[in-house]
């Protein structure tokens, strides 16, 4: 696609009502599709001859996990984990009250994340999975935002490394909005658009 056509496509994507308040497209729908196919091909090769249990934290991972698992050529049972995140006094608290329904003991497990920012949520999820004694545990993240990292985590598969910007779309939200956008977009975190100022800020993008 030529630069002019790509710019035109991004402008159209931002023109829909659901994108109100989004400043620019960071990763287009086409780029997401290509990269997810590449990740799935690598995972299918690495887990060939076996299966892998995909564990994802709700709600942000739903788009990425759904598209990724459809591209896998190996059996891939899915476990979805409810996560409560709180930001108080600059400290992140993570609570995962539900037990796993899939038995993970002795199985190959892949944690699938939409975005790894501080790493606090992922660290808690890794600890929860390891307590189940899986045979192997690896991590696949669509977006890696290392600039704000607070907890040490190792990512085995990464879709895109991104700068320290506030992103929405493709499952990522702001106060529950923007998850349905088919691209990853940037919201200016320094000058919040009027559409976002109307809603109180909370702890989104704290993964």
**Matching residue, tokens 């990425």:** 64
Token reading at 24? 């620019």
The residues that are catalytic are 117
Helix or strand holding residue 161 (H, E): strand 157-161
- As a whole number of Å, the CA-based R_g of the chain is 17
What is the per-residue burial (b if ≥16 Cβ within 10 Å, else e) of 84-116? ebeeeeeebebebeeebeeebeebbbbbbbbbb
């Amino acid at each position: 696609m030529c630069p002019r056509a790509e710019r035109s496509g991004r402008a159209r994507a931002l023109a829909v009502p659901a994108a109100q308040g989004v400043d620019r497209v960071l990763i287009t729908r086409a780029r997401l599709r290509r990269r997810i196919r590449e990740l799935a091909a690598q995972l299918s090769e690495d887990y060939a001859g076996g299966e892998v249990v995909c564990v994802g934290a709700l709600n942000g991972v739903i788009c990425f996990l759904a598209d990724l698992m459809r591209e896998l050529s190996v059996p891939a049972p899915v476990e979805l984990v409810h996560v409560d995140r709180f930001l108080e006094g600059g400290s992140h608290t993570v609570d995962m009250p539900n037990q796993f329904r899939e038995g993970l003991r002795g199985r190959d497990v892949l944690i699938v994340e939409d975005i790894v920012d501080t790493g606090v949520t992922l660290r808690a999820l890794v600890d929860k999975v390891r307590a189940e004694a899986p045979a192997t545990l690896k991590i696949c993240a669509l977006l890696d935002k290392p600039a704000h990292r607070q907890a040490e985590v190792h990512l085995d598969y990464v879709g895109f490394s991104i700068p320290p910007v506030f992103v929405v779309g493709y499952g990522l939200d702001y106060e529950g909005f923007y998850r349905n956008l088919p691209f990853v977009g940037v919201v200016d975190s320094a000058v919040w658009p009027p559409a976002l100022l109307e809603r109180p800020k909370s702890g989104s993008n704290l993964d």
